[in-house]
Amino acid sequence: MITREEAKELARRECERRGLGFDEPVRVIGGPLRYRVWTRSNARGGNVIVSVHRWNGETEVVAVTPK
């Protein structure tokens, strides 16, 4: 199973791969099957939300919010 720190790192790599910012602070929210990783978690707008599968580490960008 993927840890929260591993999920954060996988999300960072996915953002880099897609040319998206990975701005701190980052919040990792755990669910039963997936983590949700939110960048710029202290701001409304300019966030990147990445879903990371807890078992296999598969990543998917769920949303990029406008600034």
Read off the pLDDT of residues 17-45 as tens digits, 9 standing for 90 and up. 999 999 999 999 999 999 999 999 999 99
- The pTM for the full model equals 0.93
Per DSSP, helices labelled H in the chain are: 4-18
The pLDDT, as a whole number, for residue 44 is 93
How many C-beta atoms surround the C-beta of residue 4 within 10 A? 14
Closest of 42, 16, 66 to residue 50, by C-alpha: 16
Using the 8-state DSSP alphabet, how is residue 8 labeled?
H
Distances (CA, A) of 63 to 1, 17, 48: 24, 15, 6
